[in-house]
Amino acid sequence: MRYALLVYNNVEVRDRIPEERRRITAEIAEVLSRPNVTGWLRLHDVESATTVRYEQGRTLLTDGPFLDSKDFLGGFIVVEVENLDGALAVAGELQELRGAAAIEIRPVHEERHIGA
Amino acid sequence: MLEQVFRDEWGRVLASIVGFLGDIELAEDAAQDAFAIAAERWPRDGIPVKPTGWLITTARNRAIDRIRRERALAIKTEQLVRDMRDISEETMDETAAFPDERLELIFACCHPALALDAQVGLTLRTLGGLSTEEIARAFLVPFETMSKRLTRAKHKIRNAGIPFAVPPDHLLPQRLDAVLAVIYLIFNEGWGGGRIDLSAEAIRLGRAVVELMPDEAEAHALLALMLMGQARSAARFRGGELVLLDDQDRALWNQRQIDEGRKLLERALTLHGGGPYIMQAAIADLHLQQPRNWEQIALLYRSLEYFTNSPVVTMNRAIAVAELEGPEAALALLDRLELDDYRYYHSTRADLLRRLGRDNEARAAYARALQLTEPGPEQRFLDRRLANLSDSADQHIGS
């Protein structure tokens, strides 16, 4: 099964000293290079976000993320594993390395046709 | 009689169908079909030689029929029929030995990715064979709430890929803890509320786990603990009113359950267990002896505290400390705990304060305990204690 790991960051993670961040990034890179990781995306800082929303019959463009929160999405990782326990193991390992914030695990719909 | 067979077979049949279909909801429908057919045929034709095999085979066939009929699931049928071509020729014989897959099912139902109340409900539904209505009633929630909770959990197991498997060795201790915690929670729900059916249900589940995992010390210890508690159930109430352990009629204790509990505790110790359930079972055993060895009880609570870091355990140690060093020492222990929402914390405090003659404080503590207690024997017990205090206060004023 495929799972998306939604990697959340917060201010604590963002404001880490550069050496620490480099060390953690290197260790995370090792996890991301494994065969069960089939894809990943690292997002730019949340300040760069733009949101298009639909409200009261109109499409509106706003600066900033959709949800205004102390926690924000930092990236996606897609893993291909046997079951939820496999995804939990990868997420658990990443959290050990990151030592902060959270990872949300979501199963991926395998039917390719939209609307199924 | 037939009903008993059904209750005993439900978990095994359902587990087998879940293993086959990979979906609890579909499996439930199919199992229900099979049991309905059995209810119609068995009284007429007699119970088959292998009732479990008969039920599993029938449920499998019904499942395939159902899926074929539902056109929305056309793709799934194709897949399933393809998968089953091999199976159907080899194992669709009802006399074949079907592996017991209840353990896989209980680990799926008690997976930590499910909310605890969903784990509890689902375990009772799938392994215990209780109806959604019964579970809702037992946990004092509306039928719709329980129904939604169960449906959501079943969907999550399917969609999130929660494994239908016994966890690998490195995950097993932690996952087994979760299973045992769910069973013990069910037992305690029956205990506190006096709903004996839930306690008996927990013991049935505990027995199944012991049977399926004969080398797990903590599983044995939990069953021992529950049996030694349940053994006193007939003595815990007199005319619908709560009777404290020291006032209980020991002739009403179930000696068979006590003996079985002690044997299981011994077995757990031979398995070199040293976990929290062994300690609790040992404490339960000590509580059954007269006079009670408070020193040993306090000591075991001390070890349990070290293990669990739980304020509830410290509170229980305080009760032993009250017997050894007096109520004041116990109160000092209680004052450090943050258990304001726990009804037994306030009733314990109230009792200690009462024994010290600090009536006003005792009254306040009883009142707080009452706020947190649902109507029933426990509430009436506290009411009586509070009324006695008020009486003696009146006498003071009068004298």
Please tell me which residue of chain A has the smallest CA distance to B156: A107
Q: What angle (nearest 5°) sits at the alpha carbon of residue B46, between those of residues B41 and B50?
A: 95
Residues in chain B closer than 8 A to A88 (CB atoms): 113
**Measured between CB atoms, does A82 come within 8 Å of chain B?**
yes
What sign for the dihedral angle of Cα A46, A47, A49, A53?
A: positive
Contact B163 A85 (CB under 8 A): yes
Note the pLDDT of residue B73.
56
Q: Give the number of beta-carbon pairs within 8 Å between A and B.
A: 22
A6 closest CA partner among A43, A38, A34, A35: A43
Please tell me which residue of chain A has the smallest CA distance to B175: A85
Contact B111 A83 (CB under 8 A): no
Residues in chain A closer than 8 A to B162 (CB atoms): 83-84
Note the pLDDT of residue B77.
64
* pLDDT average, residue stretch A76-94: 96
**Measured between CB atoms, does B174 come within 8 Å of chain A?**
no
* pLDDT average, residue stretch A96-110: 93
C-alpha span between B102 and B274 (Å, rounded):
26
Note the pLDDT of residue B84.
62
**Measured between CB atoms, does A107 come within 8 Å of chain B?**
yes
pLDDT tens, residue by residue, B184-238: 989 988 775 555 578 888 999 999 999 999 999 999 999 999 999 999 988 988 8
Q: Does residue A113 or residue B59 have the better pLDDT?
A: B59
Whether residue B162 contacts residue B113, with contact meaning beta carbons closer than 8 Å, is answered with yes
pLDDT tens, residue by residue, B148-183: 999 999 999 999 999 999 999 999 989 999 999 999
Model confidence at A37, in pLDDT bands (50, 70, 90)? very high
C-alpha span between A60 and B96 (Å, rounded):
65
Contact B163 A83 (CB under 8 A): yes
Cα A57–chain centre separation = 31
Please, which residues 15-44 of chain A have a Cβ atom closer than 8 Å to chain B? none
**Measured between CB atoms, does B162 come within 8 Å of chain A?**
yes
Note the pLDDT of residue B399.
44
Q: At what angle do helices B276-287 and B255-270 cross, to 10 degrees?
A: 140
C-alpha span between B242 and B232 (Å, rounded):
12
Domains of chain A: 11-105 (3.30.70.1060)
Best mutation target among A79, A84, A88 (most B Cβ atoms within 10 Å) is A84
C-alpha span between B54 and B145 (Å, rounded):
34
B22, two tokens? 């990979």
3-state secondary structure of A8: strand
Q: Which residues of B2-16 are buried (b: 16+ CB within 10 A; e: fewer)?
A: eeebbeebbbbbbbb
**Measured between CB atoms, does A96 come within 8 Å of chain B?**
no
- Interface ipTM > 0.95: no
Whether residue B118 contacts residue B152, with contact meaning beta carbons closer than 8 Å, is answered with yes
**Measured between CB atoms, does B108 come within 8 Å of chain A?**
no
| pTM (2 d.p.) | 0.84
Note the pLDDT of residue B88.
47
B393, two tokens? 């206060």
**Measured between CB atoms, does A92 come within 8 Å of chain B?**
no
Residues in chain A closer than 8 A to B156 (CB atoms): none
Note the pLDDT of residue B398.
45
- C-alpha distances out from residue A46 to A8, A14, B213, Å: 11, 10, 50
Which stretches of chain B score pLDDT less than 50?
88-91, 397-399
Cα B134–chain centre separation = 15
- CA of B162 vs chain A CAs: smallest distance (Å): 5
- CA of B91 vs chain A CAs: smallest distance (Å): 26
What is the phi/psi pair of residue B215, to 5°? -105, 5
Amino acid type, B178: A
Q: Does residue B280 or residue A11 have the better pLDDT?
A: B280
Residues contacting residue B388 through CB under 8 Å, at least 6 positions apart: none
Residues in chain B closer than 8 A to A1 (CB atoms): 161
Name the strand (E) or helix (H) holding B62: helix B51-69
